[in-house]
Amino acid sequence: MVDKNRLYEILNNFKNSKIAVVGDVMLDDYIFGSVDRISPEAPVPVINVKKESFVLGGAANVSNNLKSLTAQVFAFGVIGNDDNGKRFLNELNLKNINTDGIIADEKRPTAVKRRVIAQNQQLLRLDWEDKSPISSEIEDKILEKIKDKIAEIDAFILSDYDKGVLTESLSKKIIKLANENNKIITVDPKPKNHMNYVGSTSITPNRKEALECLNSDKFENEEDLINKMQQLKEKLSLENLLLTRSEEGMTLFENGEAETISTVAKEVYDVTGAGDTVISVFTLSKVAGAEWYEAAKIANTAAGIVVAKMGTATVTTDQIMDFYSELYHNE
């Protein structure tokens, strides 16, 4: 249990924490409208567009989460030399997120996911992206930018959406560099790339991702789950592993122990981006002075807030404090 004074102390330290986020950045484009007729040209609805909004997505949503929690954030990733890239940089700059580590690649488009929504229903999604691995030249540029900033950075978050930025080579070099400089490094992994993250401090998979990392179909029971997660932790030489379990909350595996934290979500409208919130709060809490179990408890509270919101959402320190107090006032 994290008492209220202790929680306040940790949350208050968020503003002094400096976190680097490396990964597949993208822009989420939402087009909202209404439908009242079918096109005469083809049997498709005609959308009368009312509003369009752009939101930081992918690894940039992790940066956005951290910034809403008052952390100092350094973003590292790749965009295209295009209008969407300019729009993306503008979004980061508006939020005062450091963009020195964002590299423009002439050969790639800025990753964009455009969603068309009418009557609260998503009708269509259009993706602009290049999933091929970034070139060794771009890798080197990112690594040099990281080396330039590493003295200022307290922790790294690697956010892998399998869009080509976190290559095996770059991932391993970042982890080596972080370990040499005694920096925390947490990873939201793609299962197919999980061996790239050997030697990280922690990973935060969900159940499906964890099973895929182990080439397994299911957990037979709680004992099997614990054994398999301990295997994965050892396989990747991690200090700890935080397994997110949807309605079952989350379990922290550390020092041979498995500690489960029950879910606190009162309503679940949308789990989009909840994993980004978990890794943001988990990492930031540790940097701000929490023990890993305390960090998991705070991250679980933040997840309970964010799943009650529509779309990729963020939380604030005040919301965490209020919700935590409401949940645990009798403890």
Give me the half-sphere count of Cα atoms (radius 13 Å) on the Cβ side of residue 158.
Answer: 35
Output the CA–CA distances (angstroms, integers) from residue 35 to 3, 42, 202, 277, in the order listed: 50, 15, 46, 33
Choose, from 24, 105, 160, 276, the residue flagged as catalytic: 276
Residue 36 three-state SS: strand
Active-site residue flag, 276: yes
What does 44-92 look like in DSSP terms, one character per residue?
Answer: SEEEEEEEEEEEEEEHHHHHHHHHHTT-EEEEEEEEESSHHHHHHHHHH
Token representation of residue 231: 């295997």
Q: Is there a contact between 54 and 45 (Cβ–Cβ < 8 Å)?
A: no
Q: What's the Rg (C-alpha) of the chain?
A: 20
**CA–CA separation, 257 vs 237, rounded Å?**
15
With a CB cutoff of 8 Å and minimum separation 6, the contacts of 282 are 186, 202, 204, 242, 295, 296, 298, 299
Annotated catalytic residues are: 276
